[in-house]
């Protein structure tokens, strides 16, 4: 028995252990992961899901995550089986979790209880950069699409690295290294901060651009066509200079870092930096995308010279040890071709002779496909075939130039035309006008429903909408939707409103003069009709395109001016006939003692009213306008205000004047015109009082100056030419402005002394009021580079002499010429800013015999202007006057000028 007992006990222990294990497997298996090691794929067991739990979540919703798996309580599943594997794949698919597994929590009979164990991906709390400056960091943040709160995954990390590298590669840093590091946020569970380490390394500069295979076109000309891919600047020094620096005598040497020893090269650079104020060592950065665009320009240039088969066979870069590269471009020029025969087919409306004249390409001309495209589709500098047809309603017109024969170096072209039917405008819709009434816009449109379509009407309408000033000129767009099925077209105008109401506020204390200040309000989209309706005050009644202007200006007791004007551009609402009424009152007082005591003893008071009517003309074209105005002015002066023996010491002078202005305005934008012109000719006539009265009128000085008698002629012109720039409305363009101005005051009776009023004062800013506060009733014309009004006879340097005592200040003949080169810094709705380089000249005479249009006082300078809708146009200029005024001892020299408002002259 003693021998058998241990075997019996061992048997019972084995039985108990086996039963206990079986019970656990069948009843209470817990936290068994469904892995390959613990599953029997050969014999899967089917269960009913009795419950599902989710663990490891901080932000995500448990119910939502269960829903993503596709599993739900009561489903029949096999363990292991496809449903479990599919559930895990679905969780991974959405990228919300970093790890996912499904565990068996327990098994009770045929029910299985599952636990979905998840690890959430971290969420972005913040990101920052290291290795770059704050300015670059600010620009880079705008390029990245990192959004706080989004899940940080591998794709986000990769995209961030690529975006940063791409950003700096555009700036020439082709070797930029980027590393994105996640940092746990101790204050936000499940959140991370991302540190973006940037190592820019050195820029890749272009050392040389080398063309190969170009036999007909010199490399120098091809390099000029590369707008962005520029090699570094060089300088060639004569042997005598180099011999003094380097100690040897080369005949001539192009300075390069790899041709001179380092110590000698340092000497050369120091010499150039000290003696030649040019940054000749600044080299160009290499940007692959810009290089691709430049290669297209090379091919276009070859094509324009007749090399239609020209191609770039290959391009390579050779890296130097100093991180610069040589760019080698292998060119195959091919043969040069010429036009031979050009034939037209499908043209029934216009004869081939008419089309040939517009195309203006003759047999034997160098073949140029770009020229054909320009002359057939859109030629900004002249007529084109498409414009000929589309201006006659043929919107569906098409022309397809086809090369039908190539014989030797000659090419025959067949112009295949589809004329189609004339299109009629069906619907015209407008969007973007939140403040401006639709009828105000529609009355400016040349595209009217029921009218024949014309391309010129589209261009004209765009100009009209720009000149209204209510909309951003760079954002005016048209949506032309042809309907070939019924021969109609729908036209939509997309607008973006801008506020062009202006306010002027300035003030200060002028010492002995007292308060100095200006208050001016101009509402350019006013509406009298909406004044009673308080709901339409935003903050004032707007929308009808009327103009209301109020201003008050004071320079202490020495000067006050008040004005009011109102303009209705469409009187009656049916035709563009404008109506204007204006009132003004001004007072100018001069000090009567050295203490600058100011009273009414020496003063000039002016007040007046003007009524004007204007209309647009259709002939010679619809860019012309005609304006007529009638004005009445009163001038009261005393105390020998004019400091002249010609006028009585005290008196009142009246003026009744009829003025007619004929003008043509074809500019494309009022704030920054890039093309077009403004031309105006005006004639102001008073009644010939001396012809209506007896001879005693001429002998009595008080009667002679009681009524102003004159005829005044003014000519103003400005022309704009786009030199360089984008064809897109929002693009920046280098613009040349040329201008010419003339003025002439004549008399009906030669025995009369010309009136002291409405003469020309030339020089300086061209502003009235302020430091020009003593000037009333005169035409003030600016000429930068000279002091205010200094180019005005009698010249200031000669005043006070007995010879000048019998003369009146102001000219009766003047001229002014100018040229201005402009480039915009900003053309946004918030502000239009441009810099300018100018030269101008002019002169002013007090008698007709001395007039010489070529005897002018010249100046040149630089400046900048900024236009903000709330404050109008403000300019600052530095100018240098090259000439010495009569009686002065030196040239006018450097002058600063500050201007406000759009100056006509």
Highest mean pLDDT among 264-278, 501-515, 534-548, 642-656: 534-548
Average pLDDT of the residues in 74-87: 83
What is the distance between the alpha carbons of residues 158 and 156, in angstroms, rounded to a whole number?
6
Assess whether pLDDT exceeds 60 at residue 800: no
pLDDT of residue 91: 80
pLDDT of residue 801: 46
What is the distance between the alpha carbons of residues 481 and 476, in angstroms, rounded to a whole number?
17
Query: Alpha carbon of 486 to those of 112, 391, 393, 479, 614: distances in Å?
Result: 70, 19, 14, 18, 40
pLDDT of residue 593: 62
Taking Cα atoms as reference points, which of 628, 654, 653, 660 lies closest to residue 638?
A: 653
What proportion of the chain, given as a percentage, has pLDDT over 90?
Answer: 44
Query: Alpha carbon of 361 to those of 387, 466, 585: distances in Å?
Result: 17, 35, 63
Burial of 2 (0-12, 13-18, 19+ CB in 10 A): exposed
**Per-residue confidence at 595, pLDDT binned at 50, 70, 90?**
low
> Would the CA dihedral through 372, 373, 378, 381 be positive or negative?
negative
Residue-averaged pLDDT of the chain: 83
- Which residues have a Cβ under 8 Å from the Cβ of 78 and sit 6 or more positions away? 44, 45, 46, 47
pLDDT of residue 773: 53
pLDDT of residue 125: 84
Q: What is the largest CA-CA distance in the chain?
A: 172
Burial of 654 (0-12, 13-18, 19+ CB in 10 A): middle
Strand order across the 424-431 sheet: 424-431, 488-494, 477-483
Taking Cα atoms as reference points, which of 500, 494, 473 lies closest to residue 729?
A: 473
874-902 residue pLDDT tens? 899 999 999 999 888 899 999 999 887 77
What is the distance between the alpha carbons of residues 107 and 30, in angstroms, rounded to a whole number?
7
- Which residues have a Cβ under 8 Å from the Cβ of 336 and sit 6 or more positions away? 216, 305, 306, 307, 366, 367, 409
- Residues 522/512, Cβ–Cβ less than 8 Å: no
Assess whether pLDDT exceeds 70 at residue 298: yes
**Per-residue confidence at 239, pLDDT binned at 50, 70, 90?**
very low
CB neighbours (10 Å) of residue 846?
19
Assess whether pLDDT exceeds 70 at residue 263: no
- Which residues have a Cβ under 8 Å from the Cβ of 607 and sit 6 or more positions away? 584, 585, 586, 633, 634
Assess whether pLDDT exceeds 70 at residue 349: yes
Taking Cα atoms as reference points, which of 764, 745, 762 lies closest to residue 753?
A: 745
What is the distance between the alpha carbons of residues 290 and 200, in angstroms, rounded to a whole number?
20
Please indicate whether residue 64 or residue 745 has the higher confidence score (pLDDT). Answer: 745
Token pair, residue 767, equals 């502003």
What proportion of the chain, given as a percentage, has pLDDT over 70?
Answer: 83
pLDDT of residue 770: 52
What is the distance between the alpha carbons of residues 827 and 821, in angstroms, rounded to a whole number?
16
Taking Cα atoms as reference points, which of 227, 222, 228, 249 lies closest to residue 238?
A: 249
Q: Residue 305's Cα: distance from chain center in Å? A: 33
Average pLDDT of the residues in 854-883: 91
- Which residues have a Cβ under 8 Å from the Cβ of 603 and sit 6 or more positions away? 587, 588, 589, 590, 636, 637, 638, 639, 641
Write out the DSSP string of 545-610: -EEEEEEEEEETBSEEEEEEEEEESSTTSSS-EEEEEEEEEEEEEEESSTT--EEEEEEEEEEEEE
- Residues 547/523, Cβ–Cβ less than 8 Å: yes
Please indicate whether residue 126 or residue 647 has the higher confidence score (pLDDT). Answer: 126
What is the distance between the alpha carbons of residues 470 and 829, in angstroms, rounded to a whole number?
11
Collapse the DSSP code of 334 into the 3-class scheme (helix H, G, I; strand E, B; otherwise coil) and give the result.
Answer: coil
Mean pLDDT lowest for which of 255-269, 565-579, 618-632, 774-788?
255-269
- Residues 604/637, Cβ–Cβ less than 8 Å: yes
Strand bridging mode 97-108 / 111-120: antiparallel
CA angle 620–624–629, rounded 5-degree value: 125
718-760 residue pLDDT tens? 999 999 876 655 568 999 999 999 999 999 888 777 788 899 9
Average pLDDT of the residues in 171-198: 84
Mean pLDDT lowest for which of 12-21, 332-341, 790-799?
12-21
Average pLDDT of the residues in 363-374: 93
pLDDT of residue 232: 67
What is the distance between the alpha carbons of residues 720 and 714, in angstroms, rounded to a whole number?
20
Token pair, residue 45, equals 């067991």
């Amino acid at each position: 028995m003693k021998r058998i007992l241990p075997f019996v006990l061992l048997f019972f222990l084995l039985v108990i252990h086996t039963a206990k294990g079986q019970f656990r497997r069948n009843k209470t298996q817990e936290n068994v992961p469904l892995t390959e090691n613990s599953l029997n794929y050969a014999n899967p067991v089917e269960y009913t899901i009795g419950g599902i739990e989710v663990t490891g979540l901080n932000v995500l919703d448990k119910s939502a995550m269960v829903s993503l798996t596709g599993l739900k309580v009561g489903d029949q599943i096999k363990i292991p089986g496809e449903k479990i594997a599919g559930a895990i794949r679905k969780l991974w698919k959405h990228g919300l979790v970093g790890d996912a597994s499904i565990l068996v929590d327990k098994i009770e009979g045929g029910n299985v209880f599952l636990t979905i164990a998840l690890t959430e991906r971290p969420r972005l709390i913040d990101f920052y950069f290291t290795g770059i400056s704050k300015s670059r960091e600010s620009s880079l943040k705008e390029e990245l699409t990192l959004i706080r709160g989004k899940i940080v995954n591998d794709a986000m990390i990769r995209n961030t690295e690529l975006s940063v590298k791409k950003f700096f590669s555009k700036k020439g840093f082709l070797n930029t290294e980027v590393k994105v590091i996640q940092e746990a946020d101790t204050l936000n569970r499940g959140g991370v901060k991302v540190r973006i380490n940037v190592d820019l390394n050195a820029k890749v500069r272009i050392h040389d651009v080398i063309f190969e295979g170009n036999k007909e076109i010199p490399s120098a000309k091809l390099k000029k066509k590369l707008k962005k891919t520029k090699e570094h600047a060089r300088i060639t020094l004569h042997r005598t200079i180099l011999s003094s620096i380097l100690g040897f005598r080369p005949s001539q040497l192009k300075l390069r870092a790899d041709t001179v020893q380092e110590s000698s090269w340092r000497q050369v650079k120091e010499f150039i930096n000290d003696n030649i104020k040019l940054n000749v060592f600044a080299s160009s950065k290499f940007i692959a995308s810009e290089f691709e665009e430049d290669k297209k320009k090379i091919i276009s240039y070859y094509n324009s010279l007749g090399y239609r088969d020209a191609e770039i066979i290959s391009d390579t870069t050779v890296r130097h040890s100093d991180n610069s590269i040589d760019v080698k471009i292998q060119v195959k020029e091919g043969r040069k071709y010429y036009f031979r025969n050009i034939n037209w087919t499908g043209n029934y409306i216009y004869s081939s002779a008419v089309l040939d004249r517009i195309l203006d390409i003759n047999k034997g001309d160098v073949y140029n496909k770009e020229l054909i495209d320009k002359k057939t589709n859109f030629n900004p500098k002249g007529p084109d075939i498409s414009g000929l047809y589309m201006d006659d309603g043929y919107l569906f017109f098409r022309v397809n130039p086809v090369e039908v024969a190539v014989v030797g170096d000659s090419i025959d072209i067949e112009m295949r035309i589809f004329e189609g039917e004339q299109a009629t405008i069906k619907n015209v819709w407008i969007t973007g006008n939140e403040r401006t009434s639709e009828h105000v816009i529609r009355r400016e449109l040349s595209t009217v429903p029921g009218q024949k379509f014309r391309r010129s009407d589209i261009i004209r309408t765009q100009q009209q909408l720009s000149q209204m000033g209510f909309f951003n000129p760079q954002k005016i767009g048209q949506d032309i939707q042809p309907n070939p099925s019924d021969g109609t077209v729908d036209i939509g105008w997309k607008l973006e409103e801008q506020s062009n109401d202006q306010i002027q506020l300035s003030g200060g204390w002028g010492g002995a003069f007292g308060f100095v200040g200006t208050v001016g309000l101009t509402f350019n989209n006013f509406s009298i009709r909406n004044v009673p309706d308080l709901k339409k005050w935003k903050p004032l009644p707007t929308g009808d395109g009327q103009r209301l202007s109020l201003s008050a200006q004071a320079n202490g007791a020495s000067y006050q001016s008040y004005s009011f004007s109102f303009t209705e551009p469409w009187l009656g609402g049916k035709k563009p006939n404008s109506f204007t009424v204006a009132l003004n009152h001004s007072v100018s007082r001069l000090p009567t003692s050295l203490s600058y005591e100011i009273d009414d003893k020496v003063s000039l008071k002016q007040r007046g009213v003007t009524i004007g009517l204007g209309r647009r003309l259709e002939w010679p074209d619809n860019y012309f306008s005609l304006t007529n105005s009638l004005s009445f002015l009163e001038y009261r002066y005393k105390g020998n205000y004019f400091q002249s023996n010609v006028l009585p010491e005290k008196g009142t002078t009246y003026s009744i004047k009829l003025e007619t202005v004929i003008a043509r305005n074809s500019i494309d934008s009022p704030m920054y015109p890039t093309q077009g012109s403004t031309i105006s000719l005006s004639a102001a006539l008073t009644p010939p009082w001396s012809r209506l009265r007896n001879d005693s009128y001429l002998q009595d000085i008080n009667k002679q100056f009681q009524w102003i008698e004159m005829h005044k002629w003014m000519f103003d012109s400005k022309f704009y030419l786009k030199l360089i720039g984008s064809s897109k409305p929002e693009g920046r363009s280098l613009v040349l402005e040329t201008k010419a101005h003339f003025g002439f005051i004549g008399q009906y009776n030669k025995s009369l002394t010309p009136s002291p009023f409405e003469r020309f004062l030339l020089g300086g800013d061209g502003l009235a009021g302020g430091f020009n506060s003593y000037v009333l009733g005169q035409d003030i014309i600016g000429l930068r580079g000279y002091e205010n009004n200094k180019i005005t006879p009698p010249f200031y340097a000669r005043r006070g002499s007995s010879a000048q005592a019998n003369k009146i200040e102001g000219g009766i003949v003047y001229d002014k010429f100018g040229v201005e080169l402009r480039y915009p810094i900003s053309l946004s709705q918030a502000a239009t800013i441009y810099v300018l380089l100018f030269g101008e000249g002019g002169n002013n005479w007090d008698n007709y015999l001395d007039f010489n249009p070529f005897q002018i006082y010249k100046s040149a300078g630089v400046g900048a202007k900024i236009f903000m809708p709330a404050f109008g146009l403000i300019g600052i200029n530095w100018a240098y006057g090259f000439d010495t005024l009569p009686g002065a001892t030196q040239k006018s020299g450097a002058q600063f000028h500050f201007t406000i408002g759009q100056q006509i002259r």
